[in-house]
Chains A and B, each alone.
Chain A
Amino acid sequence: MITVRDLHKWFGDLHVLKGVSLDVKKGEALVIIGPSGSGKSTLLRCINLLIQPDEGDVIIDGVKVNEPKIRPEWVRQQVGMVFQSFNLFTHLTALQNVMIGLTKVKRLPKGEAERIARFELERVGLADKADAYPAQLSGGQQQRVAIARALALNPKAVLFDEPTSALDPEYIREVLDVMTKLAEEGMTMVVVTHEMGFAHNVADRVLFMADGVVVEEGAPEEIFERPKKDRTKAFVGKILG
């Protein structure tokens, strides 16, 4: 579903991605871990072309998308994204946040957009918060609305950029539960996270990145219990305590 081949990205002199490759099959959940500054967020943003990669290929569902003739807006409708800081539109209610992509981007009639949006809010357990503004919701609720907003466009895959890092501890569970359910339903997901429990239980594969390269990749238990590389051992040792 998502293939990345030998991807490079420079920010000025800074070489952030140094030839990253990965492959996510349909229905698979890939978790990316790694120290901060290792290029995880940049990699996610290169997949939906929020950042234009400098070299290499991003292939989504068989189509190379980092091509001048492909509109990045089209790619972003295929691959949804959930941000660390939720990024809900502050001037819109929860329902309007989920609807706006349907009415303005997909140009669906209002009635149908609202039906889909209410269904997606129901799916993340927030049907009763449809008319609340983001500032009236807890962090966990905001992030669930953001997930509903991404799902409403019916994407082929969803990227999660540290979706629980900005949350107070008591709200992390509800967001992870929604994500777990999503993975069980067969959504293709790429998740950058420090939630090792989630990685352990939900991920099909875990990929460890450091300094802009993929250090090691494998099943969760391999990475967490029997890491091969020293850098992986050191990192896993630190986060698992």
Chain B
Amino acid sequence: MGARGILEELSNALEDSPLHRTGIAILSLLALAVLLIMALADARLISLAFMADNASFLLVPALTSVAATMISFAVGILGAIPMGLVRSFGPRLLKQGGLRAVIAAPLYGGVTSYVEAIRGTPALVQIFLVSQVSGIIFPGNPNIPFWGGVLALTLNTLGYQSEVFRAGFQSVNQNQIEAAKAIGMRPRQAFAYVTLPQGIRLITLPLVNEWVGLFKASALLGVIAVPELNWAAGYLGSTRSHPIEAFLMVSAAYLAIIIPLSKAVGYWERTHRIPGLGTPEPGRGRRAGLRRPVPAR
């Protein structure tokens, strides 16, 4: 088998298997990182010994970052589902008039302005604002940086997640709801057994995106003295005067958390896919149809 044969085998493997594609991507990334670090060390810009000595220092900050993100994200989901509901069905209730419209109008107006406010201001500003306010309400409380930060991230992700859920609910076909009603389901049951399970399948990947975005935003919590990963990098950099090593290590830590998680969810999504529902698989459909036939050997 010549070079062309190997290339062909490789390209077939890549097209056929998402696992292979993921593996290749991660291996390339690792190779790049190793090359970069070796080049920097070779140029005496960084000290490998420092990195080896201080890697374990990042463990607690990494857990802090993950905990802050996980808590905010989970609480965010609980709040974002009703908010997404208000955003997607509010306009219809407003049109119906009567008591429903009177209840729906302030809800819809409130949620919509909240979403606009969160999406229209920098997360950093939101974090400062929340931490100042919580500092005044609970003066001197040692837990305030962390919990104030979690609160700020929660308020932030609420704004984005509710839009993700709104999109999910709105993309559930209206004929599915009509069918649910036709077998005697109440509106609440139609939501719980049809809209919600279908909507969640449609938004798995956008939700993972939001998690990744939120995890990266947690790096901002360092500015209000939460000892998370980015804060740890600044600390190592300034107290031990090795800033490049510190930020390289922290970058690696972020990647080491984000890539496996998003790949794992992506893999789960592919293996639990229901035919005809959800985002089309990459590399299927149009591209698969254009695949060149493999010549006989």
Contact = CB atoms under 8 A, between A and B. Distances in A.
Nearest to B182: A81
Contacts of A73: 181, 184-186
Interface string A101-137: 1001100000000000000000000000000011110
A85 B178 CA distance: 11
Interface string A180-215: 000000000000000000000000000000000000
Contacts of A101: 183-185
Contacts of A83: 175, 178-179, 182
B175 A105 contact: no
B54 interface: no
Nearest to A97: B179
Interface centre among B183, B186, B189 (most CB of A within 10 A): B183
A41 to B, nearest CB: 11
B197 interface: yes
A135 B173 CA distance: 14
B275 interface: yes
A154 to B, nearest CB: 12
B175 A87 contact: yes
A91 B272 CA distance: 11
A146 B175 CA distance: 13
A105 B185 contact: yes
Nearest to A87: B179
Interface size on B, as a range, is: 20 to 34
A76 B179 contact: no
A91 B277 contact: yes
B176 A153 contact: no
Interface in A69-104: 72-74, 76-77, 80-81, 83, 85, 87-91, 100-101, 104
Contacts, number: 76
Nearest to A88: B179
A104 B193 CA distance: 9
A32 B125 CA distance: 64
A239 interface: no
Contacts of B274: 90-91, 133, 135
Interface in B165-189: 173, 175-176, 178-186, 189
B175 A85 contact: yes
B184 A153 contact: yes
Given A87-B179, A90-B277, A91-B274, A100 B186 contact: no
Contacts of A135: 274-277
Interface string A50-85: 100000000000000000000011101100110101
Contacts of B201: 91
A9 interface: no
Interface string B196-232: 0110010000000000000000000000000000000
A4 B30 CA distance: 73
A88 B178 CA distance: 10
B194 interface: yes
A8 interface: no
Contacts of A48: 182
Contacts of B175: 83, 85, 87
Q: Which 8 A-B pairs have the closest CB atoms?
A: A135-B276, A87-B179, A101-B183, A77-B184, A135-B275, A81-B182, A105-B184, A87-B175
Interface of A: 48, 50, 72-74, 76-77, 80-81, 83, 85, 87-91, 100-101, 104-105, 133-136, 146, 149-150, 153
Given A87-B176, A90-B198, 18 more contacts: A50-B178, A50-B182, A72-B181, A73-B185, A74-B184, A80-B182, A80-B183, A81-B182, A83-B179, A87-B178, A91-B277, A100-B193, A104-B189, A105-B183, A133-B274, A133-B276, A133-B277, A136-B276
Interface of B: 173, 175-176, 178-186, 189, 193-194, 197-198, 201, 274-277
22 contacts: A73-B181, A77-B183, A80-B182, A81-B182, A83-B175, A83-B179, A87-B175, A87-B176, A87-B179, A89-B176, A89-B179, A90-B176, A90-B277, A91-B194, A91-B274, A105-B183, A105-B185, A105-B189, A133-B275, A135-B274, A136-B276, A149-B183
